[in-house]
Structure 1
Amino acid sequence: AMAALAQKNYGTETATIMVLGMLINIALARLTPLKYIFLTGHHTLYMAAMLAVILSVGGLSGGWVVAIGAVILGAMMVISPAILQPFTRKITNTDDLALGHFGSIGYLLSALVGKIIGKGSPSIEEIKVPKSLNFLRDSSVAISLTMMILFL
């Protein structure tokens, strides 16, 4: 809903920030050691809309909104996967996958807290469950059940 409202009033700025931010992401991935291409388009659109609104309301106009928004977006698109990569690598045992999400700071804090208080805790994969409950290991099922509990 927020992105739709932002696009109504800041559609040109949002679209331009998104396209230029993606190009900056590609350039940064090519020219820096941070080789991350952010493929989460709906998050990119949402963040571009947020930046357009925040920078405009903050007093910037036209070209400045687009230029500053695109640089911020492009930098965030390469930095957010990079800050989580050590934890992603530990879970996946590879660098072939990265987590592209603008909630990375919250995830990083959660990982750091888990690192401090989770020592010695068994991994969820190590916990033995009856075969009749194995369907709960499917993330879609687990998320659906959790959402039903939270929202009913």
Structure 2
Amino acid sequence: VALTAGVNMLVGTIAPINAAVQTQLGVAVSDGLSDITFTAEYGGTVGLAMFFGLVIHLLIARFTPVKTIFLTGHMLWWFPFVIVAGGVEGGLTGIPLLILGAVLSACYWSFMPWIMRKYVWDATGDDSFLIGHPTGILSLVSGFVAKRVGNKEKSTEDLKVPENLSFFREISITGALVMFLMNIVIGLIAPVLVPEGGNLVMFAVDAGLNFGAGLLIMLYGVRLLINQIIPAFQGIAEKVVPGAKPAFDVPILFNYRPNAVIIGFIVAMITSTILVVIANTTNVFGILIVPLVITSFFECGGAAVIGEGQGGLRGAIIGTITASVVMVALVGISAAMFSTTIQNWILIFGGNDLSLWGILGELIGKLFGGL
């Protein structure tokens, strides 16, 4: 509950920035289905795909060496959601669409946490859990690059801060300051960020405080999860799926290298914003895309932790820069492909495994689109 409450506070602070940037850029709702109307029409298929996908996922854990149980609740919905959307774009309907959603979702829940496991264990020093979150492809890219160009001798967590500024070592204070400054900058560029009659400085102060508080609550929830839920899970799993490891939401990583998270967020925002401007100016994707604030914090924050685990401070920075390039490419390609279903949703929440698996769903759908 604490973890979810903290994450919701963070998303609630970030969401107005996304909305303001979209409004400023004049990104209009596209023709076709939105995420709401798509859910109304295909929600039953998504729900069935989630159910059968979970059954397949548990069978994979029980009878193969890939022993992981995916426990990030909301992602049990969002993966079949984007995969079914991809299948619809590819021309699938009925039972073939359901099979695509179930099988691809099960494969993601089982294999992505397992593929990431060594990077996660290197970053945390703890092999009792895995990560079940759409940071997967970005973290793999970050870890791969960081291992080759990084330097473990200098860690993000060893950064020297002058004594009179030592309070900045507290992630909640640093995060609050970053969010305050970001709101000031965005508010000057996109005045619609501030409600009518409001004051930009006070709005930014409130956003910063809420973001800092959300970080504290989220990290408290992470500690509760580590101390209480993992031992309980192990007791149950040994009876149902012996040797299985739980795959948790990405914030569980943030407690291990909090400085890397903030550095990754800043680097990802700067890199991706520059790339978004270039992409929109050159019309490379054929649509307008917006800075990915949510993905920059959660997915690229996780990618920075993985990069730090492989290559220290340098690895975190260069790994995140590389991941940000992949992030922008994924959101642009997937948003263009989801032109009649969930384009506006993926513009905000994509640039990650959700985009990647949605693209895969559409490509497979086109192969069997006559069914």
Tell me if both proteins adopt one fold, taking TM over 0.5 as the criterion.
Answer: yes
Specify the alignment match of 2:49 in structure 1: 17
Specify the alignment match of 1:85 in structure 2: 117
Specify the alignment match of 2:94 in structure 1: 62
Distance in 2, Cα, partners of 1:21 & 1:147 = 38
Distance in 2, Cα, partners of 1:76 & 1:109 = 17
SS of equivalent residue, structure 1 residue 94 = coil
Give how far 1:21 is off.
Answer: 1.3
**Match 1:27 to one of 49, 55, 59:** 59
Give how far 1:23 is off.
Answer: 1.7
Q: How many residues align?
A: 150
Give how far 1:141 is off.
Answer: 4.8
Q: Which amino acid aligns with 2:110?
A: V
Distance in 2, Cα, partners of 1:66 & 1:46 = 15
2:87 matches 1:52: no
Contact 1:81 1:100 in 2 (8 A): yes
2:166 matches 1:133: yes
Identify if the C-alpha distance between structure 1 residues 127 and 16 changes in structure 2 by more than 3 Å, giving closer, same or farther.
same
For structure 1, the residue ranges without an aligned partner over 5 or more in a row are none
SS of equivalent residue, structure 2 residue 151 = coil
User: Once the two structures are aligned, what percentage of the paired residues are identical?
Assistant: 29
Distance in 2, Cα, partners of 1:79 & 1:148 = 38
Identify if the C-alpha distance between structure 1 residues 30 and 134 changes in structure 2 by more than 3 Å, giving closer, same or farther.
farther
Contact 2:68 2:113 in 1 (8 A): yes
Q: Which amino acid aligns with 2:155?
A: S
Specify the alignment match of 1:109 in structure 2: 141
Q: Which has the larger radius of gyration?
A: 2
Identify if the C-alpha distance between structure 1 residues 5 and 39 changes in structure 2 by more than 3 Å, giving closer, same or farther.
farther
Distance in 1, Cα, partners of 2:129 & 2:162 = 31
Distance in 2, Cα, partners of 1:5 & 1:103 = 27
SS of equivalent residue, structure 1 residue 37 = strand
Q: Which amino acid aligns with 1:133?
A: S
For structure 2, the residue ranges without an aligned partner over 5 or more in a row are 1-33, 187-371
TM-score normalised to the size of structure 2?
Answer: 0.37
Give how far 1:120 is off.
Answer: 4.2
SS of equivalent residue, structure 2 residue 70 = coil
Contact 1:48 1:69 in 2 (8 A): yes
Contact 1:13 1:66 in 2 (8 A): yes
